[in-house]
């Protein structure tokens, strides 16, 4: 059994007058991801949930670029798998509250032994072009220790009409 980590948001992103964040939430006894876009006056713009019928999604962070495209990084774990890095994204033009399908960034290779294994997650916008989105996730090794996976989601600029 794997704990979901802190249910509080790991990071907050201020972009274009809104605060964006993700957090782990309980859905039918499993950990799922809930994400939000909230105006500075507290008005909710959109929210979404990423859940699985048997597995848990843990250690979530997100990044938002200047076009309001979003990357959500996290790990997946379940009864038939080891802790594995994942991400999903949404473009600003996607329907509110939705994300594209989950992307596997690797498959965990071993069970944790209850010791700290590198349970971390980070997601950022590229500081050079303010478009590309990056995530750093942990993955379990054959010995149940943490290793690191870094992934880049290249984003094309949208054309102004």
* β partners of residue 23: 34
Q: Which residues of the chain have pLDDT under 50?
A: 161
Q: What is the pLDDT of residue 86?
A: 97
Q: What digits encode the pLDDT tens for the residues 84-110? A: 999 999 999 999 999 999 999 999 999
Q: What is the pLDDT of residue 20?
A: 97
Q: What is the pLDDT of residue 81?
A: 93
Q: What is the pLDDT of residue 2?
A: 54
The gap from C-alpha 156 to its chain's centroid, in whole angstroms, comes to 20
Q: What is the pLDDT of residue 120?
A: 81
Q: What digits encode the pLDDT tens for the residues 27-44? A: 999 999 999 999 999 999
* β partners of residue 86: 74, 104
Residue whose C-alpha is closest to residue 138's, from 113, 160, 108: 108
Cα→Cα distances 155→60, 68, 111, 135, Å: 21, 11, 35, 14
């Amino acid at each position: 059994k794997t704990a979901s980590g802190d249910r509080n948001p790991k990071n907050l992103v201020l972009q274009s007058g809104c605060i964006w964040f993700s957090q782990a939430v309980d859905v039918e006894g499993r950990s799922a991801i809930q994400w939000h876009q909230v105006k500075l006056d507290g008005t909710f713009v959109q929210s979404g949930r990423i859940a699985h019928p048997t597995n848990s999604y843990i250690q979530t962070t997100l990044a938002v670029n200047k076009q309001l495209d979003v990357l959500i990084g996290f790990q997946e774990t379940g009864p038939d798998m080891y802790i594995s890095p994942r991400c999903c994204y949404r473009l600003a033009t996607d329907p509110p509250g939705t994300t594209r399908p989950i992307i596997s960034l690797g498959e965990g290779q071993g069970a944790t032994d209850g010791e700290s294994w590198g349970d971390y997650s980070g997601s950022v916008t590229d500081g050079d072009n303010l478009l590309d989105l990056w995530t750093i996730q942990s993955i379990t090794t054959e010995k149940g220790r943490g290793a690191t996976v870094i992934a880049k989601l290249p984003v094309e600029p949208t054309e102004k009409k």
